[in-house]
Amino acid sequence: MTTSTGTTTTRSRGATLKRSLGLWAIVGLGLGYMTPTVVFDTFGMVSRDTNNVVPLAYLVALIVMMFTAISYGKMSGAIPSAGSAYTYVRESVHPNVGFMVGWTSLIDYVLLPMVNCLIIRSYLEALFPEIPGWIWVVIYCAVVTTVIYLTMKGTSNINMMLLVFSIVVMAVFVVLVIAQLVHASGEGQSVPLVAPFFHDGVTMGAVLTGATIVCFSFIGFDAVTMYAEEAKTPKIMPRAILLTVIIGGAIFLVAAYFTQLRFPSSTAFPTEAIEDSTLPEIGLQVGGPVLQAVLTAAGFCATLASGLASHASVSRMLLVMGRNNVLPKRFFGYINPKTHTPTFNIVLVGLISLLAAAFTLELIAAFINFGALIAFTFVNVSVIAWFAIRRGMRKTPKDIFSYIVLPAIGMVLTGVLWANLHADALIGGLIWTAIGFVYLLVLTRGFRRKVAAFDENQPVTGFTKAVK
């Protein structure tokens, strides 16, 4: 990465991280990780589960995420090194609790590449229905795994270009939908403008169920905390986190609102599209094969960028865990001397991603949300533990509101969403958590030893960073 003269650097075990990322570069990276076009992928299933109030589900999720984003901002300011939820929990609560949060978060990291593969599969199936979906899964996994195998470096500039392209296409889509709605109104067809937020038959339980699904859309806003050591100044991190959530949430809300106006019922989509991705079908019905191809291209670019980043990120995270003896070092800590990449980890993630041929987006998203919502809940807990308890900042009304009331609200809200997850995700997630607890007992010899860290004082998302 290039830096201007005088840019400060942060050293980590002999490496130097360039402080070259400004506010909007970090926000762009966060939005790119969130993949804005995912609103169209999950639209059908959320519309079905909420009785056709997708924007309301996004609004509820946005409110929850904003409380959590505020907590992330506070913790990134207090602990400005590159890290994430488990780092904050480890430092503010207890290393063992941090380990468990990191263990549950591992579900997100491992399954996110599979989700991207699954979405790409659904796009290509829609465009080439005569070709079996598993073939696309194999091709995608082979290509992405090979690319990451050879190099884990990338730039924020490429991410930004893909992001801008996706948002421009989404804006064109919204304009086309508005034109069609105006035409329908001109012909005397009623277009109820409040229906996407409220109509008869809508229940709060259904909305919460939908909100747990669309939380998946926000996953990635917390990834910007990984750039704390490369920000031009650590002071911009709280703003970057909050702006990522607000701008991402606004994009989701606008896109979901006009899509819901155009498709007032989920019955407009085939069942198989609802289970995987409705993006190609939405493009086809709004603008014919041309818009379908363009919208799918936008989704493809955004998803591919996210897929490369997430695949490299989890490979890098497994490498760090191997080096720190959280996982067997001989396998997970290995670096290929020729490619200088953690090849075993990269291939392992690629093999796991092959399971995209057998699962639906709804189920995998629910499993990812299990880990994400646990992490979000404990980031709110970290604020209370770090500021109110450890630093004693609970003596003034302002402190009580900032460091107890706000994070407590965020903790309760994320807990409510967690409780409304898909039953299979809850069962599978709890089993994974139980395995992690047993593994923690083994690592610590029955809590008699200090647990090894998931991370080290350098970034985990090696794909989007240059370490020199």
Distance CA 226, CA 242 (A): 15
Sign of the four-CA dihedral 283, 284, 285, 291: positive
97, amino acid identity: V
Question: Using an 8 Å Cβ cutoff, are 338 and 210 in contact?
Answer: no
Lowest-confidence pick of 229-238, 364-373, 411-420: 229-238
Tell me the mean pLDDT in the region 73-94: 81
Mean pLDDT score, 349-362: 89
DSSP string, 214-234: HHHHHTTGGGGGGGTTTBSSG
pLDDT band (50, 70, 90) for residue 19: low
Q: Other C-beta atoms within 10 Å of 451: how many?
A: 21
Instruction: Give the pLDDT confidence of 152-164 residue by residue, as tens digits.
Output: 554 445 666 777 8
Q: Are 218 and 61 in contact (CB under 8 A)?
A: yes
Q: Give pLDDT, residue 468.
A: 31
Which pLDDT tens digit goes with each residue over 267-295?
999 988 888 889 999 999 999 999 999 99
H helices of 229-360, where? 237-262, 271-275, 279-323, 329-332, 343-353
Evaluate if residue 456 carries a pLDDT over 80.
Answer: no
Write down the residue that tokens 């610590």 correspond to: 444
Looking at residue 110, its pLDDT comes to 87
CA nearest 454: which of 226, 231, 152? Answer: 226
Check: CB of residue 20 under 8 Å from CB of residue 2: yes
Mean pLDDT of 428-436: 93
- Mean pLDDT for all residues in the chain: 84
What is the C-alpha to C-alpha distance for residues 206 and 185, in angstroms, rounded to an integer?
30
What pLDDT does residue 236 have?
84
- Rounded average pLDDT over 344-351: 92
Two structure tokens written together for 435: 């395995």
- State mean pLDDT over 18-42: 80
| 462 band by pLDDT with thresholds 50, 70 and 90 | very low
- Express as a percent the part of the chain with pLDDT over 90: 41
* Better-predicted residue by pLDDT, 186 or 362: 362
What's the rounded mean pLDDT across residues 122-150? Answer: 89
Q: What per-residue confidence (pLDDT) applies to 6?
A: 39
Among 6-10, 156-160, 343-347, which is the least confidently predicted range? 6-10
Alpha-carbon span 125 to 131, nearest angstrom: 7
Residues 388-415 pLDDT 10s: 999 999 999 999 999 999 999 999 999 9
Confidence of residue 1 (pLDDT cuts 50, 70, 90): very low
Q: What is the pTM of this model?
A: 0.84
For 238-264, how does the pLDDT look when each residue is reduced to its tens digit (9 = 90+)?
888 899 999 999 999 999 999 999 999
pLDDT tens-place string over residues 315-342: 877 887 888 788 888 888 888 888 777 8
What's residue 378's pLDDT? 94
Most confident of 10-24, 73-87, 212-226, 380-394: 380-394
What confidence score (pLDDT) does residue 211 get? 93
Give whichever of 11-20, 100-109, 311-320, 392-401 has the largest mean pLDDT: 392-401
Confidence (pLDDT) at 433: 94
pLDDT digits (tens, 9 = 90+) for 164-192: 888 899 999 999 999 999 888 766 566 67
Per-residue pLDDT at 15 exceeds 60: no
Strand partners of residue 21: 231
Across the range 122-134, mean pLDDT stands at 89
Give the model's confidence band at 306: pLDDT under 50 very low, under 70 low, under 90 confident, else very high: confident
The pLDDT value recorded for residue 325 is: 80
**Residue 329: per-residue pLDDT:** 86
* Residue 52: predicted pLDDT: 93
